[in-house]
Amino acid sequence: GGVNQEVHLGGFYGVNRKDGGKCLRYMCNTANIVLDVLQQRPGWVEAKENEEWDLNWCDLAWMKDNLDFLYMEEHVRINHFQNQYELCRKNLMVKNLKRHRKTLEKEFSRVEASKCDFFPCTFVLPSEYHLFLEEFKRTLGSTWIMKPVRKSQGKGIFLFRKLKDIMEFKKEVISDEEKDTVQVENFVAQCYIENPYLINGRKFDLRVYVLVTSFVPLKAWLYREGFARFSNTPYSLSTIDDKYMHLTNVSIQKTAPDYDPESVRKWTIQQLRRYLTAKHGRESVRRLFEEIDNIFVFSLQSVQKVIINDKQSFELYGYDILLDRDLKPWLLEVNSSPSYMASCREDYQMKFRLLEDTLNVVDMERRLTGKEKRVGGFDLMWNGGPVNRDDLIPATCGTPSFPANTHLGCVNDRETQLHQLLKPVTTKRVRDNLHEKDQ
């Protein structure tokens, strides 16, 4: 796969078309929005089984099974970096961030290192059990969240406050003398953010997309559209067993007994930005989104030296960010296979645009000059160093992209802000709820 014998003509690879032009060939082993985008993209054809391809949009299982045996010609593209797990597996992400923090402290200053303090205190179990125990005792009474490192979609996650709640776990992983022979599931125990920012009494997290086309030098693009995912149940710390209250991922929320797909459980980042601007003012919101940008840059830099920087690879990361009541953003996780399924029509359209724009940045058709700072909804945020975006419309992830001149993140007077805030909310239920709260 991936070995293309075709001659490179006029910057365009692929197979000959009847009309003398060329087609690019894609392989895509999942039936989701990615496939829809590729099927509708002019000049592209699907590679038949065992045929060579120019672009392979594959899942991680395919990568694992095939990449060791794969020779890729220079011009082909694949949607993952080989060892993407350095950033996307919960334990490795934290290990890399902790190491990066130490390096910054040594080479620069404590202040510079403190810019990495955007991930909750985390320990890998079983290997860091004793360190965890020390911290647990030091902060007795606080809440922790336990997550299996290899799972996703909220599977196997639980909250705890007492050691006895993880005794079973401890017995299994610590007292097992055959630890090396028995496959032990690794977990991370992470300090639970007890004071999340609530809207209408509900917790939410943010999904923001970042496209990396190279790690050395780091070249990263930020997508201006993204969304906030709300929990089904109003938040409270009085119970820690209700996953519908504490876990905001869609995969969990949609299993709630009273889940109503018609009701809005997602806001666009622009809606959220307007809401926050109305409540806290432009400056606080600007600072918040600047801090979020900072999370992207520092987390990517933390794995820059360990990621295998194949020229053929690119990766569209889905960042999960949680805000607390002080408007501090926390990094929960980076996903290398964010969901490309849609929960509603708007969601479908947004992800369709995201994927189209991704292909536009990857630019296998060779239409770009290479100097672009903005391609569709993507803004170049790092190109071997920070990118000056002053000449663009303010371009943090909160700014809308279509059309560019409706920059609602910058509305001025408070009345307009509240008016705008209520306008885009589509279902009556949410509109009423919001209205009540703002009165």
Ligand X SMILES: Nc1ncnc2c1ncn2[C@@H]1O[C@H](COP(=O)(O)OP(=O)(O)OP(=O)(O)O)[C@@H](O)[C@H]1O
CB 231, min distance to ligand X, A: 7
Q: Rounded distance, CA 423 to CA 439, Å?
A: 15
Question: Is 153 an interacting residue with respect to ligand X (CB under 6 A)?
Answer: yes
Question: Is 249 an interacting residue with respect to ligand X (CB under 6 A)?
Answer: yes
CA-derived radius of gyration, the chain: 23
Taking CB under 6 A as the binding criterion, the range among 149-157, 287-295, 299-307, 411-419 that sits at the site for ligand X is: 149-157
Question: Is 320 an interacting residue with respect to ligand X (CB under 6 A)?
Answer: yes
Tokens for 164?
């006895």
Neighbours of 176 (CB within 10 A): 13
Cβ 162 vs Cβ 133: under 8 Å: no
Cβ 229 vs Cβ 249: under 8 Å: yes
Question: Is 322 an interacting residue with respect to ligand X (CB under 6 A)?
Answer: yes
CB 59, min distance to ligand X, A: 14
Question: Is 120 an interacting residue with respect to ligand X (CB under 6 A)?
Answer: yes
> How much helix, strand and coil, in percent to the nearest 5, is found in the chain?
35, 20, 45
Nearer to ligand X, 190 or 213 (CB): 190
Nearer to ligand X, 329 or 400 (CB): 329
Q: How far is CA 10 from CA 7, 13, 21, 22, 186, in A?
A: 10, 8, 10, 10, 50
Site for ligand X in 16-35 (CB under 6 A): none
CB 419, min distance to ligand X, A: 30
Residue among 34, 104, 331, 332 that touches ligand X (CB under 6 A): 332
Q: Rounded distance, CA 56 to CA 29, Å?
A: 9
Taking CB under 6 A as the binding criterion, the range among 17-25, 26-34, 153-161, 232-240 that sits at the site for ligand X is: 153-161
Taking CB under 6 A as the binding criterion, the range among 19-27, 147-155, 217-225, 356-364 that sits at the site for ligand X is: 147-155
Instruction: State the amino acid at position 397 in one-letter form.
Output: C
Question: Is 302 an interacting residue with respect to ligand X (CB under 6 A)?
Answer: no
Binding mask 405-434 toward ligand X (x if CB under 6 A, else -) reads ------------------------------
Taking CB under 6 A as the binding criterion, the range among 21-29, 154-162, 296-304, 431-439 that sits at the site for ligand X is: 154-162
Q: Rounded distance, CA 87 to CA 299, Å?
A: 8
Instruction: State the amino acid at position 250 in one-letter form.
Output: V
Question: Is 145 an interacting residue with respect to ligand X (CB under 6 A)?
Answer: yes
Q: Rounded distance, CA 304 to CA 409, Å?
A: 32
Residue among 82, 150, 154, 407 that touches ligand X (CB under 6 A): 154
* Conformation bin of residue 210: beta by default, left when phi > 0, alpha when psi is -120 to 50: beta
Question: Is 333 an interacting residue with respect to ligand X (CB under 6 A)?
Answer: yes
Question: Is 267 an interacting residue with respect to ligand X (CB under 6 A)?
Answer: no
CB 193, min distance to ligand X, A: 4
- Per-residue buried b or exposed e for 120-136, using 16+ beta carbons within 10 Å of the residue's own CB: bebbbbbebbeebeebb
Question: Is 336 an interacting residue with respect to ligand X (CB under 6 A)?
Answer: no
- Per-residue buried b or exposed e for 282-317, using 16+ beta carbons within 10 Å of the residue's own CB: beebbebbebbbebbbbbbbbbbeebebbebbbbbb
Cβ 124 vs Cβ 133: under 8 Å: no
Site for ligand X in 198-227 (CB under 6 A): 205
Cβ 218 vs Cβ 371: under 8 Å: no
Tokens for 391?
């000449």
CB 432, min distance to ligand X, A: 25
Nearer to ligand X, 139 or 153 (CB): 153
Neighbours of 328 (CB within 10 A): 15
Residue among 4, 253, 335, 360 that touches ligand X (CB under 6 A): 335
CB 244, min distance to ligand X, A: 11
CB 305, min distance to ligand X, A: 25
Q: Give one DSSP letter per residue of 9-38, joined into a string.
A: BTTB-SEEPTTS-EEEEEEE-S-SHHHHHH
Q: Rounded distance, CA 426 to CA 347, Å?
A: 13
Residue among 96, 190, 271, 396 that touches ligand X (CB under 6 A): 190
Residue among 76, 93, 157, 245 that touches ligand X (CB under 6 A): 157
Nearer to ligand X, 156 or 424 (CB): 156
How many residues sit in the footprint of ligand X (CB under 6 A)? 22
Residue among 53, 192, 275, 298 that touches ligand X (CB under 6 A): 192
Question: Is 147 an interacting residue with respect to ligand X (CB under 6 A)?
Answer: yes
Q: Alpha carbon 332 to chain centroid distance?
A: 9
Nearer to ligand X, 307 or 322 (CB): 322
Interface with ligand X (CB under 6 A) = 120, 145, 147, 151-155, 157, 190, 192-193, 205, 247-249, 251, 320, 322, 332-333, 335
